[in-house]
Amino acid sequence: MQRSAGGAEELELSRRVQLAMVPQSLPAVTGLDIRAFYFPREAIAGDLFDIVLISEDMLAMFMLDVGGYGTSAALMSAFAKGSLQNHIRETTSPTVVLERVNGDIIRAAGASFAISAFVAYLDLHNNKLTYTTAEHPCQMVYCKHDASLRHLSTPGTKLGTTKDAYFEDESIYLSPGDRVFVFSDGVYELFEKNGDSHQIEALAAILSGEDASVGELMNKLEKRYETKAAEQVIRDDVSAMGFEILTQSRKNQIKEKLGFYRDDPVYLQFISYYEEMDGVAGVILKEMDVAGFPDETIRKMKISLTELLANAIGHGNNEDHSLKVTIGHIVNREVATVSIMDEGDGFDPQALPDPTLPENLIKDHGRGLYIVNNYVDELEHNERGNRVLIRKYHV
């Protein structure tokens, strides 16, 4: 019994370690909407992925899928991810990255694993995507200009099969409205099996939705997963990451929803987790410091942002991390304007209890908004109640 308990403890530890290697938050990049999900088949899995902001000019991403299941597959996926992270900042050639990772795997484990992989770099100046694959089958780009969906495939061998593995870089220029999707092959199990081509066509039909955002399309796949998992027909890990080059019109739509004008120089950020709040606030507070706002004003803005972002994630989105909180801000030497919008159903701010009344002192709701209302100069809600816009003037 002790050995069994010890095995269970080791499995749980392995599960926690592996989950820690899955990105808990995604980079906030102006002009991109980035989404991802991760559903392991068992407590530990062979899928891993990441999206990394290498610099202000370069975004890197990778996904790998180790053949097999269990502890050995999970250990090798963790090793391969560590190797990828070691090499991905040293070059901007996906082929060079995979060559080095393959060498690390062969030296560590010999030719005993078959790992499919996709590695890409997105140049944020010109939206040039340079990519390569190690027999990874599931990466597609939806091109808005002709409403087409094409596979991003390159010649290459799987990692961990031979020291003479080969890969080849290819590039594509993306335009506003284009969407890139990368999956593990478990995604095909979300569709009825009537031949591989049928599953591919069914996936392609969802990804080709012209009027849907990348978030809406990924949410459709997540709902499919929930249905199939409830039916207990999932036999593989299912992982996905994707991003959309925001069109100017879509960026303008977001600006207007946030309460700005289309021509306003709004800096957009997107978050889903509490851990991302400090990064968002830091960008805004730094700009206020550069603009010469007094320290006390910046301190009050920091408290206000913390309250509003936490409310948006916790109350607005109900801690559903598949939903985004959108933040837009403009800071100049006269005023700092920040708008925060969640994807929830909204609320009536007039219905919040007054936290200063004796009967409401122990109630949770309303306290944070009361503090914000006293710390900023202006506070506005939209009609739906899922957006708040604040202003703090330079005095």
pLDDT digits (tens, 9 = 90+) for 72-127: 777 777 788 889 888 998 888 999 999 999 999 999 877 777 888 999 999 887 78
66: helix, strand or coil: strand
Model pLDDT, residue 230: 81
Neighbours of 95 (CB within 10 A): 19
pLDDT digits (tens, 9 = 90+) for 311-356: 999 999 999 987 889 999 999 999 999 999 999 999 887 766 665 5
Model pLDDT, residue 2: 44
Rounded distance, CA 347 to CA 385, Å?
5
> Looking at per-residue confidence, does 389 or 188 come out higher?
389
DSSP-assigned states of every residue in 183-223: E-GGGGGGS--S-HHHHHHHHHHHHT-TT--HHHHHHHHHH
Q: Is the pLDDT of residue 11 over 60?
A: no
Model pLDDT, residue 64: 87
159 with 229: CB under 8 angstroms? Answer: no
Model pLDDT, residue 1: 38
Model pLDDT, residue 325: 92
Q: Is the pLDDT of residue 44 over 60?
A: no
Model pLDDT, residue 335: 97
Report CA-CA distances (Å) from 207 to 13, 35, 202, 214: 36, 14, 9, 8
Structure tokens at 169: 């870089």
Rounded distance, CA 344 to CA 323, Å?
8
Q: Is the pLDDT of residue 69 over 80?
A: no
Model pLDDT, residue 3: 42
Left, alpha or beta for 133 (phi > 0: left; psi -120 to 50: alpha)? beta
Q: Is the pLDDT of residue 378 over 70?
A: yes
Out of 12-16, 20-24, 155-159, 265-269, which region has the weakest mean confidence (pLDDT)?
Answer: 12-16
Q: Is the pLDDT of residue 291 over 90?
A: yes
Out of 146-150, 247-251, 316-320, which region has the weakest mean confidence (pLDDT)?
Answer: 247-251
Rounded distance, CA 99 to CA 394, Å?
54
As beta bridge partners, residue 327 has 269, 340
In 26-183, the DSSP E strands lie at 32-39, 47-55, 58-66, 115-123, 128-134, 139-143, 148-151, 170-173, 179-183
Model pLDDT, residue 309: 96
Q: Is the pLDDT of residue 10 over 70?
A: no
- Which residue's structure tokens are 């206020």? 288
354 with 360: CB under 8 angstroms? Answer: yes
Rounded distance, CA 237 to CA 41, Å?
5
CA dihedral 77, 192, 223, 76 (to 10 degrees): 0
217 with 207: CB under 8 angstroms? Answer: yes
32 with 246: CB under 8 angstroms? Answer: yes
Mean pLDDT, the chain, whole residue set: 84
Model pLDDT, residue 9: 60
134: helix, strand or coil: strand
Model pLDDT, residue 152: 92
Left, alpha or beta for 70 (phi > 0: left; psi -120 to 50: alpha)? left
Neighbours of 272 (CB within 10 A): 21
Model pLDDT, residue 355: 57
Model pLDDT, residue 282: 93
Model pLDDT, residue 200: 79
Q: Is the pLDDT of residue 211 over 90?
A: no
Model pLDDT, residue 205: 85
Domains and CATH numbers, the chain: 22-246 (3.60.40.10), 250-393 (3.30.565.10)
